[in-house]
Amino acid sequence: MSAPPSSRAFRVFSWFTLAYTLAVVLWGAFVRATGSGAGCGDHWPVCNGEVVPRAPTLQTIIEYTHRLTSGLALVFAVVLCVWALRAHAQGHPVRKAAVLSLVFMLTEAAVGAGLVLFKMVAGNESLARAFWMAVHLFNTFLLVGAQALTAWWAGDHERLSWRRQGLTGALLVGSLAGVLVLGVSGAIAALGDTLYPAQSLAHGLAQDVSPTAHVLLRLRVLHPVLAALVGAGVVCSAALVARLRPSPAVRRAALQLGILYGLQLVAGTVNVVLLAPVWMQLVHLLLADLVWIVLVRLSAAGLARGAPRADVKPRVQPALT
């Protein structure tokens, strides 16, 4: 039996909202990479004291566009939440995921506003800025993950359960935590690339190992190391989960995760060799978001109630005599 038109429409809108949010996230990275975070000064929500800037510079246009698109993303999150609550019965997992999507969208806006109001943009080199950039990335992953779950459960998939999941649960929790830590290190590395651009590959390597270098540069070298270690752990864990939970959805997600992470490692290497051009930073971030989305989907499918479990032998009913 096919899903009713209203259900299909909600599922399409949920995926659209996720795709649009990813576009806004990438534009936010473009704002940071181009040093346009102070394009509206330290004013928020107005721009340089005006609702609509009259004589904007290029940096002002970039920052103002990000604010407008972010506002529309918030509208979509509100619509998604209200629609989910009205169209799904109490206890349906879509309801909780859509509510969390709205909550994380609001906290995303709050962190973004704080970065502007406290002048943690443009050329600010403080560790406080690095900390809040990490918080921003962490919240972005939670937002994207909640929206991905909303779209996933809108397809009538089983809700997940963390109880009695054994090795599968441990592998997936470890993978989720590892990718979050890797994402935070990536945000700090990207900030270092923006504030201290290298003139050549040799210059960049010298920056990383210099004892007098800023702490952001010394932290930057940790990201590729973590990328290799976390990547190996995540891909191997996904392959093992596909054996422990042998459903088509799990196997498909595990395969996609392996391919995307391989592409991510290639993109990261190219990003270093080309000295982190803006376009490559955006490609790198997009792949990171896609890896996270697929990992969330793998977790939802692998921990779903009723998912086939190769690690649990079926009970044998005693023969009737």
Q: What angle do CA 263, 266, 272 make, to 5 degrees?
A: 140
Longest distance between any two alpha carbons in the chain, whole Å = 90
Phi, psi of 101, rounded to the nearest 5 degrees: -60, -45
Write the Ramachandran bin of 126: left for phi over 0, alpha for psi from -120 to 50, otherwise beta. Answer: beta
pLDDT at 1: 41
Write the Ramachandran bin of 276: left for phi over 0, alpha for psi from -120 to 50, otherwise beta. Answer: left
Contact (CB, 8 A) for 69 and 23: yes
Instruction: Say how far apart CA 51 and CA 28 lie, in whole Å.
Output: 20
Structure tokens of 112? Answer: 């973004």
Instruction: Say how far apart CA 87 and CA 227 lie, in whole Å.
Output: 41
pLDDT at 257: 98
Mean pLDDT in runs of 10 for the chain (321 residues)?
69 97 97 92 90 92 96 98 95 96 97 92 89 95 98 92 91 97 94 88 81 82 93 97 94 97 96 93 97 98 84 52 43
- How big is the chain, counted in residues? 321
Q: 151-185 in b/e burial notation, b at 16+ Cβ within 10 A?
A: bbbbeebebbeeeebeebbebbeebbebbbebbbb
pLDDT at 3: 57
Q: Which of 261, 36, 19, 213 is nearest to 269 (CA)?
A: 261
Instruction: Say how far apart CA 104 and CA 72 lie, in whole Å.
Output: 15
pTM of the shown model: 0.92
Q: Which of 34, 33, 116, 131 is nearest to 70 (CA)?
A: 116
Q: Which of 180, 191, 54 is nearest to 115 (CA)?
A: 191
Strand partners, 50: 47
Instruction: Say how far apart CA 92 and CA 186 lie, in whole Å.
Output: 35
DSSP of 239-306: HHHHHHS--HHHHHHHHHHHHHHHHHHHHHHHHHHTT--HHHHHHHHHHHHHHHHHHHHHHHHHTBTT
